């Protein structure tokens, strides 16, 4: 596969770097904050956001889609179940839940903390975001009560996608009351190819 990854530090591209390391794929990296919003990137991602990839000449955006596609291309690595299986449905379930019921609230907090111009920020959403994230985090915490990982109790691309979100929440100190999530994140940090950055806050 001919892969070019457009990325920036501490972005969702961490997911893409991790899955690429897991499958031992070679790729070209176009990295840096200056990449975001650039004319070159907008030819791939209309919003000029990272991550985005060119794979064999074709563009693909959104980290979860990128990671899932790459995992599918290397079935021998065992990082994702086959389409049509129950395990694949569980992957889809947890990815959708992660992005819609968890990461959405973290992103809302982020854009109102440092992304938007100061005069456009709405700090009043922080309390609501924390409440909504915590309700969803409790669901995943319960799912991990007797499991180390989310699908078939073994590491997969599902955990790469979810792990980034849990690590992000940890930065905001939102998983302190969820012991299973804390232990899950520790397990992910210990994996040799993990690209997540431990929070020092």
Neighbouring residues of 49: CB distance < 8 A, sequence distance ≥ 6: 36, 41, 61
- Residue 92 clears pLDDT 50, i.e. is over it: yes
pTM: 0.96
DSSP 194: -
Dist. CA 178–CA 140, nearest whole Å: 9
CATH of the domain at 10: 3.40.30.10
pLDDT tens, residue by residue, 6-42: 999 889 999 999 999 999 999 999 998 899 999 999 9
Q: Is residue 197 part of a domain?
A: no
Domain shared by 124 and 185, yes or no: yes
Residues 66 and 93 placed together within one structural domain of the fold = no
Q: 127: domain range?
A: 86-190
Kindly state whether residues 72 and 157 are assigned to the same domain. no
Same domain, 101 and 174: yes
pLDDT band at 75 (very low <50, low <70, confident <90, very high): very high
């Amino acid at each position: 596969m001919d892969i070019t990854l457009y990325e920036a530090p501490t972005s969702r591209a961490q997911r893409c770097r991790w899955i690429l390391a897991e499958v031992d794929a070679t790729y070209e990296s176009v990295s840096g904050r200056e990449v975001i919003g650039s004319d070159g990137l907008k030819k791939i991602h209309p919003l000029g956001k990272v991550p985005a990839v060119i794979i064999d000449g074709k563009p693909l955006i959104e980290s979860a889609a990128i990671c899932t596609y790459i995992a599918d291309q290397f079935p021998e690595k065992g990082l994702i179940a086959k389409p049509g299986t129950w395990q694949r449905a569980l992957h889809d379930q947890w990815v959708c839940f992660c992005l819609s019921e968890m990461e959405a609230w973290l992103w809302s907090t982020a854009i109102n903390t440092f992304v938007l111009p100061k005069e456009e920020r709405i700090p009043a959403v922080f309390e609501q975001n924390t409440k909504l994230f915590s309700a969803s985090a409790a669901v995943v915490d319960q799912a991990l009560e007797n499991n180390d990982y989310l699908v078939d109790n073994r590491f997969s691309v599902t955990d790469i996608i979810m792990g980034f979100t849990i690590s992000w929440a940890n930065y905001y100190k939102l998983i302190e009351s969820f012991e299973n999530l804390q232990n899950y994140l520790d397990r992910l940090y210990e994996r040799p190819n993990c690209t997540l950055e431990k929070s020092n806050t």
